[in-house]
C-alpha cells in the first residue's frame, strides 16, 4: 500500500479522499488517486452543466497544485477553494437549494426569493 493513512478534506458540501474505491465500495488509500464526493447530503438541485463545472474546477485546482506534496493541508486547500466555487454557483443561480432534502439549513446563505411586483401593490 502506497499510503497507509487516508488523507481527506471534508467540508459541508465537498469531500475529497486520497483514495480509490474498491469493488466493495470501500476507500483504499492512494498517493495517486483523488476521489471527489460532491454534495453528499443532496442539499442542492444540480444540473449536469453545474456538476461538470465543479469537476472541471476540481481538475484545475489539482493541476495547479501538482508537484506539491500530498498533505492534509494541500488537500484541505483544494476542498476549501471548491466549496467557495460551489457557493458562487449558488449565488449565480446555477444551482439551487433542494427543499426536499433532509438538510434545509441554508448553510450557504438564505436563498433569494423572487418578488412578484403585482402582489406588492
- Per-residue pLDDT, 90: 92
Question: What's residue 1's pLDDT?
Answer: 45
Q: Which residues contact residue 111 at a Cβ distance below 8 angstroms, ignoring those fewer than 6 apart?
A: 96, 97
Position with higher pLDDT, 108 vs 15: 15
Report the pLDDT value the prediction gives residue 32, as an integer from 0 to 100: 87
Please tell me the number of Cα atoms within 13 Å of 119 on its side-chain side: 3
- Residue 3 pLDDT exceeds 80: no
pLDDT digit string (tens) for 79-89?
999 999 999 99
Q: Name the pTM for this structure.
A: 0.81
- Spatial CA neighbour of 19 closest among 30, 10, 9: 30
Amino acid at each position: 500500500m502506497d499510503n497507509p493513512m487516508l488523507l481527506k478534506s471534508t467540508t459541508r458540501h465537498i469531500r475529497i479522499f486520497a483514495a480509490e474505491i474498491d469493488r466493495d465500495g470501500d476507500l483504499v488509500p492512494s498517493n495517486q488517486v483523488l476521489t471527489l464526493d460532491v454534495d453528499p447530503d443532496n442539499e442542492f438541485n444540480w444540473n449536469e452543466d453545474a456538476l461538470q463545472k465543479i469537476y472541471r474546477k476540481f481538475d484545475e485546482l489539482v493541476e495547479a497544485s501538482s508537484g506539491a506534496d500530498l498533505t492534509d493541508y494541500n488537500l484541505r486547500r483544494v476542498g476549501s477553494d471548491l466549496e467557495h466555487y460551489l457557493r458562487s454557483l449558488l449565488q449565480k443561480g446555477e444551482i439551487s437549494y433542494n427543499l426536499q432534502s433532509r438538510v434545509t439549513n441554508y448553510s450557504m446563505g438564505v436563498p433569494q426569493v423572487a418578488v412578484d411586483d403585482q402582489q406588492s401593490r
